[in-house]
Amino acid sequence: MKTLREDYLRTSKLPHIWCPGCGNGIVTAALVRAIGKVGYEQEDVSVVSGIGCSSRAAGYLNFNTLHTTHGRALAFATGLKLSQPALKVFVVMGDGDATAIGGNHFIHAARRNIDLNAIIVNNHIYGMTGGQHSPLTPEGKRATTAPTGTLERPFDILELARASGATFGARATAAQPRLMEKLMVQAANNPGFSVVEALSMCPIAYGRRNKLGSAVDMLKMMKEDSARVEKVRSGEVEEDSVIPVGTIFSNPAPEFTESYYSKMQKDS
Amino acid sequence: MNYRKPQLMQGNEACVEGAIDAGVRFFAGYPITPSTEIAEGMAQRLPEKGGVFIQMEDEIAGMAAVIGAALGGMMSLTATSGPGFSLKQENLGYAVMAEIPCVVVNVQRYGPSTGIPTAPAQGDVMQARWGTHGDHPIIALSPTSVYESYYLTTAAVKFSQKFRIPVVLLLDEVIGHMREKVALPEAGKLMVEKQKFGDIQDYKPFDERKTPPLIPFGEGFLYHITGLIHDEYGFPSRDPGVTTRLMDQLHQKISQNQDEIVMTNYMGHPEPRVGMITYGCTARSARAALKQTYFQKRWPVGLLTLQTVWPFPHEEVKKLASQVDLLLVPEMNMGQLVGEIERYCHGETEVVGVNRYDGEMITPEEIYEQIKRWFS
């Protein structure tokens, strides 16, 4: 395995705050490799994040990084991108951050098709506050605020993104770090709003309460439960039984920042 | 200073012109009465100037986008009214903590809640001071005329840039919607220059000794910004020493520059026995009462108008309090700034509020009656 680009990391800020077995490190490493692969200059990249465990990633990455308020990362990033259109903006959010408190910003960023790369680290739980259910907690799973299992149905985050107007949507699990990296590269190359759902594990606040075993057991489960979307589409595997991973959709459309500036030039 | 041809203009429109002339090139907001004209004006004017206007999905996002744009190097402003101002408090606090320059216009309307959307009030004075959680400094300016709406908008931009703090422009429905003849300074006269950030090698974005200008993202200096308590380089810390130093620096950058930030004016008798302290649209009724009492009858009456409401002009208030036997505080609320005034009077003088909270302006007669009672 290739080593990570050390200059992309703030090594003096390590070790990170994440628990042993957490998937955030895998997702962050995939992002670092993806940015390196696309070949952006360090000063051209900005990482914006919200509040929660995964959002702490911004502090460990050596770019211009902005750790914002809970749920609002995409709204901050919208202002940043519009004021500095050349910036390559990655927005790291957790599942609760992006889809509960930040749900409105998420659908509207997608609707505008503004060139932001949303990385949603989905561990099905609010980890930092100790394990409350999120809009992505699967039905029936236990959380501190759903002691006998949640009654609520989860979002399909990529269906939500697609319906809202995002132009690229992809999914990988922490058990497929190479695929995750590849999808992040594709997201970066898509001129428009891109979403990568990075399925991750929280053995402490989610796995333990739902008797899913260790981090390794959870990784194995994610690997077994997921299948390439191509296999699902060809009918090789049954859709309901697996989590499709890979590029779920890619529907190019005019990008907002570019449209804004070109319209402004035309009008003046 | 040379002036443009006089024109009839609304307070909200003057705010737009002030923002454009000061160099604001980014607006993000959400429609709300009675501030909508500011968004509409910006939608028209900003693209002409190569700037960015965006209508966001909600008030919270408007505030967030303004902060994001400030980090991209654009001078930025948002405008709202009561209910929207409540929603903005979360990210307004972020801008205080992360020291992001931006301007938030609050065209006050009658509240609480939806209240009376088209009726004036001055009920957000304490919210402007303490709306977001935690100990925090703030600057709030309150215009009394259409021209002041223009001028104080440029001052708000200037202070926000210099002290890296969100500045609240506390307009009210009367000044926002009132039309007056104004002669604006020639365009460019009040442009706020972008500050130079000097040597990048020694740059600390959150220097504890001074407030350096923010280096925009994308300029090559890589750093971190967070709403958490942070060290001089912007990284989270929960060290008690770092925490105290940061909080002291946040507050001292305002308290130590009180003289520059505080704008007030005094009109009336040089040795007044009755004083008035007011701000915003109510200052206009107070001026009419001053005309009747001091200018016409030569009663020893004086009026202190506060263009800067926060930080509180305590020196100016204390001085007037030491001179008078009675201090009237007309406000279109149930008594907000009057408490702060009493705090600085130390019982030296009698402080009496003149309040109205029925959605109508305080009339000059209502103030005049109070003054007359003391002199008869």
What is the secondary structure of B106-168 as a DSSP string?
A: EEE-B-STT-BTTS---TTHHHHHH-SSSS---EEE--SSHHHHHHHHHHHHHHHHHHTSEEE
Instruction: Note whether B280 and B125 are within 8 A (CB).
Output: no
B302 min Cα distance to partner chain A (Å): 46
Put simply, the answer to whether B217 touches A62 (Cβ < 8 Å) is no
Average pLDDT over residues B213-229: 96
Tell whether A121 is covered by a domain: yes
Nearest CA in chain B to A257: B52
* Chain A residues 4-23 with CB within 8 Å of chain B: 10, 13
Give the residue among A46, A119, A49, A48 at the shortest CA–CA distance from A86.
A46
Band the pLDDT of B196: cuts 50, 70, 90.
confident
Instruction: Note whether A117 and A134 are within 8 A (CB).
Output: no
Kindly tell me if the per-residue pLDDT of A3 is higher than 70.
Answer: no
A74 min Cα distance to partner chain B (Å): 9
* pLDDT, tens digit, 9 for 90 and up, residues B255-264: 999 999 999 9
* pLDDT, tens digit, 9 for 90 and up, residues A129-157: 999 999 999 999 999 999 999 999 999 99
* pLDDT, tens digit, 9 for 90 and up, residues A93-128: 999 999 999 999 999 999 999 999 999 999 999 999
Tell whether A205 is covered by a domain: yes
Interface check B313 vs A, CB under 8 A: no
Tell whether A1 is covered by a domain: no
B76 min Cα distance to partner chain A (Å): 10
pLDDT over 70 for what percent of chain B?
100
- A-B C-beta contacts closer than 8 Å: 137
Considering chain B, what is the average pLDDT of its residues? 97
pLDDT over 90 for what percent of chain A?
96
* Chain B residues 16-45 with CB within 8 Å of chain A: 26, 28
Give the angle subtended at the CA of A91 by the CAs of A90 and A93, to the nearest 5°.
145
Chain B residues with CB under 8 Å of A268 CB are 47-48, 50
Q: Which domains does chain B have, with CATH numbers?
A: 1-261 (3.40.50.970), 262-375 (3.40.50.920)
Rounded Cα gap, residues A48 and A92, in angstroms: 6
Instruction: Note whether A157 and A78 are within 8 A (CB).
Output: no
Facing B64 at nearest CB: one of A68, A83, A264: A68
A12 min Cα distance to partner chain B (Å): 11
Average pLDDT over residues A16-38: 97
Q: How many C-beta atoms lie closer than 10 Å to residue B209's C-beta?
A: 9
Q: What is the pLDDT of residue B234?
A: 97
Kindly tell me if the per-residue pLDDT of B307 is higher than 60.
Answer: yes
Facing B224 at nearest CB: one of A65, A263, A264: A65
Kindly tell me if the per-residue pLDDT of B111 is higher than 60.
Answer: yes
Interface check B66 vs A, CB under 8 A: yes
* Domain coverage including residue A97: 6-267
Tell whether A178 is covered by a domain: yes
Regarding pTM above 0.90, the answer is yes
Tell whether A130 is covered by a domain: yes
Average pLDDT over residues B146-156: 98
- Residue to mutate among B89, B133, B217, with most A CBs inside 10 A, is B217
Average pLDDT over residues B23-32: 98
Facing A79 at nearest CB: one of B69, B94, B225: B69
* pLDDT, tens digit, 9 for 90 and up, residues B198-211: 777 889 999 988 89
The CATH number that applies at residue A143 is: 3.40.50.970
Residues 6+ apart with CB under 8 A from B134: B93
Q: What is the pLDDT of residue A193?
A: 98
Facing A105 at nearest CB: one of B61, B227, B235: B61
Who has greater pLDDT, A1 or A222?
Answer: A222
Put simply, the answer to whether B65 touches A108 (Cβ < 8 Å) is no
Interface check B52 vs A, CB under 8 A: yes
Interface check B72 vs A, CB under 8 A: yes
Residue type, A150: T
Tell whether A236 is covered by a domain: yes
Total count of domains within chain A: 1
Tell whether A113 is covered by a domain: yes
Kindly tell me if the per-residue pLDDT of B352 is higher than 60.
Answer: yes
pLDDT over 90 for what percent of chain B?
95
Rounded Cα gap, residues A120 and A49, in angstroms: 10
Chain B residues with CB under 8 Å of A44 CB are 218
Residue type, B103: V
